Amino acid sequence: MPLKDDIEALRRLRFDPRLANLGSYVPPLSLFRLFGMVRDELAHSRLLASLLDPRRHRNHELILRPFLHEIGLALDKANSPDAASVHRVSEAPMSRVAVRLELFRIDIVVEIDSPDGDMVLGIENKIDADEQPRQIARYQRALSRGYPNRTAVMVFLCPDARAPSTACPSSKVPVAEIGYRSVVSAIKSVLDMVDLNSQDRLSLEETARHIEEDILSSSDNTELRSMVRELWEDHGRAFRLVERHKPCMADIQQKYEEILGEYFGNDATFSYYPNSREFREIRMQLCSWKKKGFPFILMFYLGPNSGLLGVRLLLSDNGHGDAQYSYSALQPKLKEWAERVNESVGPMVDETFAPILRWTYWRRILAEENFPPTAALNKQSFDEVCAQEAAERVITLVESLRPYVEKVDLDS
CA neighbor of 297 nearest in space, from 320, 265, 274: 320
pLDDT for 228: 77
Q: Which stretch of 25-39, 183-197, 296-310 has the lowest confidence by average pLDDT? A: 25-39
pLDDT for 209: 84
Average pLDDT of span 167-182:
94
Cα 167–Cα 169–Cα 170 angle in degrees, nearest 5:
125
Answer whether residue 250 shows pLDDT above 50: yes
Q: What percent of the chain has pLDDT over 90?
A: 48
Task: State how far the alpha carbon of 122 is from the alpha carbons of 138, 177, 257, 293, in Å.
Answer: 12, 12, 43, 38
Q: Rank 104-113, 272-281, 347-356 by mean pLDDT and report only the highest.
A: 104-113
351 alpha-carbon distance from chain centroid: 24
Coil, strand or helix at 341: helix
Q: Which stretch of 91-100, 128-137, 364-373, 392-401 has the lowest confidence by average pLDDT? A: 364-373
Average pLDDT of span 34-53:
81
pTM of the predicted model, to two decimals?
Answer: 0.54
54 bridge partner residues? none
Burial class (CB within 10 angstroms; exposed 0-12, middle 13-18, buried 19+) of 152: buried
Average pLDDT of span 100-125:
94
Can you say whether residue 143 is alpha, beta or left, with left for phi > 0 and alpha for psi between -120 and 50 degrees?
Answer: alpha
- pLDDT tens track for 311-364: 999 999 887 778 888 888 889 999 999 999 999 888 889 999 988 776 778 899
- pLDDT tens track for 384-396: 999 999 999 999 9
Omega cis (within 30) before 372: yes
pLDDT for 31: 59
The band of 208, judged by pLDDT with boundaries at 50, 70 and 90, is confident
Domain ranges of the chain: 3-28+220-244, 37-215, 250-405
